[in-house]
A and B are shown apart, each in its own frame.
Chain A
Amino acid sequence: MKTVVRTEKLTKRFGDLTAVDGIDLDVHEGEVFGFLGPNGAGKTTTLRLLCALIAPTSGTAEIAGHRLGRDDAKIRAAVGILTELPGLYERQSAWDNLVFYATLYGLAPSVSRAQAERYLRLMGLWERRDEPVVTFSRGMKQKMAIARAALHEPRVLFLDEPTTGLDPDAAKTVREFIVALRGEGRTVFLCTHNLDEADRLCDRIAFFRHRVLRIANPDELRAEFYGRATEIRLVPKPRAEDLVRVQAVPGVREAHLENGSIVVASTDPLHTNPLLVKTLVDGGADIAFVTERKPHLEEVYLRIVEPIE
């Protein structure tokens, strides 16, 4: 797998404050990489470092094949960034905003116009292209800012809280856009507080507070922290003897009753689950559903990130 963002001991200090403390990252081409951490953890500083907007205090980084500190203009041409606030020229039209930025990314006039049209259509803003941005809703402005970040077809797109403050419809458009980018083989570096969104979109997640605490796939993290759990819903509801039978099945580590279901943690669900079903059916229980129990990513986050405080 090709690496598009690689950092080694990347550090940024502001006086006595170490905002980014020796991070090592390998972000692959075509993946959505989540970057999760609390406010003030240094996420925005990391983004600025990786977009060659500020210089590191120490350490090295290579972004889209370009060395940070040596090829900064090339890095900025190869990446796109969605900043915390849209930062659009509000008195100007959507069209003028995008064409202006396309020009600054060195696109030829005909390409600039074609790209502006493509992204305005993609974001559902084409019909309002001639209106000043000041008349747009928060969601429309955010979509404009995303269009601006992607306009020059960057290899890596850094998105800082892309769906914050958006209504569900706008947020869905943005998430679909991120998935489409991944489909095109582009890399998305996603800073977010929205753990549900990170869970749905990200191939891997880095938990971060000034330094990288952990990088893994969301499912791997859940399995590591909570094991693999199965939820068996019985009708009308589980009986005490059902739980006793389940607990006696070989391979079951732990089982308990929860909201009308039996929740079972086992070492090898592939072997254990058929036995569980057979045992319950033989015992006269009526099974409505057997599903995998996924703990919310928030529980993992709180266990990894919070204890540092």
Chain B
Amino acid sequence: MIAVVAASPARPTLVRAVCVREWREALGNKLLVGMTLLPPVVILVSGIAAVAAAAVNPPSDRDVQALYAAAPAVAGLDPREAVQGFIATYFLILFMLIPTVVPLTMAIYSVIGEKASRTLEPLLATPVGVGDLLFAKSLASTVPSVIVTWSAYAIYLATVIAIGSHAAVQAVTAPRWILAIVVLVPLLTLLSVNLGILISTRVNDVRVAQQIGGLVVVPIVGLGIAQVTGRVVLDNGAFLQMTIVLILLDVAVFWLARLAFQRENILVRWR
């Protein structure tokens, strides 16, 4: 007979076990896989197509003048170069949508799925801490989303370098954008994940949770529109401000999710 001594598992062991289980579960759900991969594929394909189209079709004078007015940074450049540079930059902002959409779906399924299948009680009956469990669940949704976004960006980067103009290549390889993808993407993902978990504690329907959680894309879309219309210039200062705001929001939302994710709340109040 083997000596069996149960105890709280080490945090890395718990995180690994929860992540592997959640990923297996997610991969077995075709709808979830589809909903996870569709946004990055659409953004990536659209971005590449737009840059390629701009390389082939010369813009009209009117378009060029409007572009020079909206984006002073490209003023004076060859019109075709300027349009490609502008489109390449615009799609970089759209890449920021991926970490708000993809992990949200995963996080919502992660909690609402467990609620629906009544698997939370046995899970909470183990000696794991709920904070650790929440952290592990957050990570299980965050890691794939960051990997998907980075991969999509890498493909976009490689394609723009291959087919884009000098201005387009300069735009996508600008240090502040690379830093934004490296730093802002994980921060946005965490925000989206914990928001998804927080919403999932209150509702039982995946679609309702997605509709509520979908609001998180509004600021990103707004930022994109503001940049296109020249109202906002995304310089180093703007990125720094966004990073600070996101860190604060991440901490606040994780804290709220942690408050909602209590053993007794989950078992007695969650319905």
A binds B: yes
Taking the complex as formed, is A136 at the interface, i.e. its CB lies under 8 A from any CB of chain B?
no
Q: Which of A178-232 contact B (CB under 8 A)?
A: none
Q: Which of A76-95 contact B (CB under 8 A)?
A: 76-81, 83, 85, 87-92
Contact mask B117-134 → A, CB, 8 Å, 1/0?
A: 111111111111100000
Contact mask A107-127 → B, CB, 8 Å, 1/0?
A: 100010011000000000000
> Chain B residues with Cβ under 8 A from A100's Cβ?
17, 21
Taking the complex as formed, is A96 at the interface, i.e. its CB lies under 8 A from any CB of chain B?
yes
Complex Cα spacing A88 to B268, Å = 20
| Closest Cβ neighbor of B10 among chain A residues | A106
A55-B264 contact, Cβ under 8 Å, with A92-B24, A103-B9: yes
Residue pair A105, B117 in contact (C-beta under 8 Å) = no
Complex Cα spacing A96 to B25, Å = 11
Chain B interface residues toward A at CB < 8 A: 2, 4-10, 13-14, 17, 21, 24-25, 28-29, 117-129, 263-264, 267-268
* Residue in B13, B122, B127 whose beta carbon sits within 8 Å of that of A145 in the complex: B122
Complex Cα spacing A148 to B126, Å = 11
Residue pair B6, A96 in contact (C-beta under 8 Å) = no
Residue pair A101, B126 in contact (C-beta under 8 Å) = yes
Residue pair A152, B6 in contact (C-beta under 8 Å) = yes
Residue pair B264, A92 in contact (C-beta under 8 Å) = no
Residue pair A103, B13 in contact (C-beta under 8 Å) = yes
Of the four ranges (under 10, 10 to 19, 20 to 34, 35 or more), the interface on chain A belongs to: 35 or more
A197 to chain B, nearest CB (A): 22
Complex Cα spacing A145 to B122, Å = 9
| Most-contacted residue by chain B among A79, A81, A104 (CB, 10 A) | A104
A105-B6 contact, Cβ under 8 Å, with A53-B263, A87-B117: yes
Taking the complex as formed, is A54 at the interface, i.e. its CB lies under 8 A from any CB of chain B?
yes
The 9 closest A-B pairs by CB, nearest first: A152-B6, A106-B7, A77-B6, A91-B28, A104-B126, A77-B127, A105-B6, A153-B4, A103-B17
Contact mask A44-56 → B, CB, 8 Å, 1/0?
A: 0000100101110
Complex Cα spacing A276 to B120, Å = 61
| Closest Cβ neighbor of A19 among chain B residues | B268
* Residue in B8, B13, B24, B118 whose beta carbon sits within 8 Å of that of A73 in the complex: B8
Complex Cα spacing A73 to B125, Å = 9
Q: Which of A123-154 contact B (CB under 8 A)?
A: 145, 148-149, 152-154
> Chain A residues with Cβ under 8 A from B121's Cβ?
53, 81, 83, 87
Of the A-B pairs whose beta carbons lie under 8 Å apart in the complex, a sample of 28, sorted by A's number, is A51-B125, A53-B121, A53-B267, A54-B263, A55-B264, A76-B125, A77-B127, A80-B125, A81-B125, A85-B118, A87-B121, A89-B21, A90-B117, A91-B28, A92-B21, A100-B17, A100-B21, A103-B9, A103-B17, A104-B126, A106-B5, A106-B8, A111-B2, A111-B4, A114-B2, A149-B122, A152-B4, A152-B6
A87-B267 contact, Cβ under 8 Å, with A115-B4, A152-B4: no
Residue pair A87, B119 in contact (C-beta under 8 Å) = yes
Chain A interface residues toward B at CB < 8 A: 14, 48, 51, 53-55, 73-74, 76-81, 83, 85, 87-92, 96, 100-101, 103-107, 111, 114-115, 145, 148-149, 152-154
> Chain B residues with Cβ under 8 A from A83's Cβ?
118, 121-122, 125
Complex Cα spacing A16 to B25, Å = 40
> Chain B residues with Cβ under 8 A from A145's Cβ?
122
Question: Does more than half of chain B's interface fall in helix, strand or loop, or is it mixed?
Answer: loop
What 5 new A-B contacts, CB under 8 Å, besides A83-B118, A92-B25? A53-B267, A77-B6, A77-B7, A88-B119, A91-B24
Residue pair A76, B126 in contact (C-beta under 8 Å) = yes
Complex Cα spacing A91 to B154, Å = 33
Residue pair B264, A148 in contact (C-beta under 8 Å) = no
Complex Cα spacing A106 to B10, Å = 7
> Chain B residues with Cβ under 8 A from A53's Cβ?
121, 124-125, 263-264, 267
A153-B6 contact, Cβ under 8 Å, with A81-B122, A101-B122: yes
Residue pair A14, B126 in contact (C-beta under 8 Å) = no
| Closest Cβ neighbor of B128 among chain A residues | A104
| Closest Cβ neighbor of A103 among chain B residues | B17
Residue pair B123, A115 in contact (C-beta under 8 Å) = no
Complex Cα spacing A138 to B117, Å = 14
Residue pair A106, B127 in contact (C-beta under 8 Å) = yes
A79 to chain B, nearest CB (A): 8
> Chain A residues with Cβ under 8 A from B268's Cβ?
14, 54
A73-B127 contact, Cβ under 8 Å, with A101-B122, A145-B122: yes
A77-B8 contact, Cβ under 8 Å, with A53-B267, A91-B29, A106-B127: yes
> Chain A residues with Cβ under 8 A from B14's Cβ?
103-104
> Chain B residues with Cβ under 8 A from A88's Cβ?
117, 119
A265 to chain B, nearest CB (A): 47
Residue pair B6, A154 in contact (C-beta under 8 Å) = yes
> Chain A residues with Cβ under 8 A from B21's Cβ?
89, 92, 96, 100
